[in-house]
Amino acid sequence: MTDSIMANLFSGSTPWFQLLGTTPVEIIATLSAVLGVVLIARQNILGWPLGILWAAISAWLAFTQWQLVSDGILYLAYIPIQLYCWTVWARGSSLRQEDPFIPVWMAHKKQLIVIIAALLGIAGWAFGISALATQVSWIPEPTLLWRDSTTTVLNFFAQFLQARKRMENWVIWLVVNLLGIHIYWVKGAPIYSIQYAIFLVLGIYGWVQWHRSTRSQI
């Protein structure tokens, strides 16, 4: 009976493996992404090379397997961003002991600047993609334009703030992950909603870990 259950579990009629990916490289990419976020939450610099591995695999899959040109370009953009974050953390770790590289909140004025810049960036991205879709044949008509534009632009802001160890990055990731859960559920891709739900939990975990670091310096 056990053999029968296992046979049904891993048979082609039961898509359990699709929860992690249909190929080994998809599974590696997924595990790299999750482990990378956990390490970043724990302020472990090894999270960045894992992020680069995830971005490289995802870009390759987007171009060669999924034919998702826009996503492929976005994944490629993650590679230099992750390299930048890795470099900043490496330099920050070598600072003097009396000036440690720890998470901090930005001043209210800087927070306002970031909010305005993000809103302008979202608007610019949305109008730009809409314009390109009417001019370039290989760019499809965008769906969920404003929600998709919001997650894309906020990704860049969150990565930059995370590199500088600004606590606000976790607030931005909260918005991105909540929208991601919604977007992929609407698109009929529940597995990606599940992934964003995992990232949401990890984001809260990361905020708690970084917040403890700020309190320990008081």
SS3 category, 166: strand
Q: Name residue 104's beta-bridge partners.
A: 166
Q: Is residue 174 part of a domain?
A: yes
Last residue of some domain: 67, 95, 123?
95
Is residue 49 situated within a structural domain?
A: yes
The verdict on 139 and 193 lying in the same domain is: yes
Q: Which residues in 74-106 are b (16+ Cβ under 10 Å) and which e? A: bbbbbbebbeebbebbeebeeeeeeeebebeee
15 and 9 in contact (C-beta within 8 Å)?
no
Is 84 in the same domain as 153? no
Please check whether residue 126 lies inside any domain of the structure. yes
Residue 89 CA to its chain's centroid (Å):
18
- Which burial class, exposed, middle or buried, applies to 133 when counting CB atoms under 10 A from its CB (0-12, 13-18, 19+)? middle
Residue finishing a domain among 65, 95, 125: 95
Q: Is the pTM of this model over 0.85?
A: no
Structure tokens at 191: 């597995």
Beta strands in 18-176 (DSSP E): none
Residue 1 lies in a domain: no
Q: What is the total count of domains within the chain?
A: 2
Q: Is 10 exposed, middle or buried (0-12, 13-18, 19+ CB in 10 A)?
A: exposed
Domain-embedded: residue 18: no
Q: Indicate whether 198 belongs to any domain.
A: yes
pLDDT number for residue 138? 67
Considering only residues 217 and 199, tell me which one the structure prediction assigns the higher pLDDT. Answer: 199
The one-letter amino acid code at 89 reads W
- Answer yes or no: is pLDDT of 201 > 60: yes
Residues 158 and 178 occupy one common structural domain: yes
Q: Is residue 13 part of a domain?
A: no
Select the more confidently predicted residue: 68 or 111. 111
| 157 lies in the same domain as 192 | yes
Residue 55 and residue 78 in one domain: yes
Pair of tokens at residue 161: 């703030």
Verify that 217 and 111 share a domain, yes or no.
yes
**In a shared domain, residues 146 and 58:** no
Helix, strand, coil shares of the chain as percentages rounded to 5?
Answer: 75, 0, 25
Distance CA 21, CA 27 (A): 5
End residue of a domain, out of 95, 123, 138: 95
Instruction: State whether 55 and 152 are in the same domain.
Output: no
Q: Is the residue at 4 inside a domain?
A: no
Terminal C-alpha separation, the chain:
60
pLDDT the model gives residue 10 = 45
pLDDT digits (tens, 9 = 90+) for 93-148: 655 444 566 889 999 999 999 999 999 999 998 898 888 878 877 666 777 888 88
Please give the structure tokens belonging to residue 158. Answer: 């969150």
Same domain, 84 and 29: yes
Average model confidence (pLDDT) across the chain? 79
Same structural domain, 86 and 128: no
173 and 122 within one domain: yes
Q: Are residues 210 and 41 in contact, defined by beta-carbon separation less than 8 angstroms?
A: yes
Please give the residue range of the domain that contains residue 71.
23-95
Query: Within this chain, do residues 130 and 27 fall inside the same structural domain, yes or no?
Result: no
Sign for the CA dihedral angle at 39, 177, 162, 33 comes to positive
- Tell me how crowded residue 143 is: count the other CB atoms within 10 A of its CB: 10
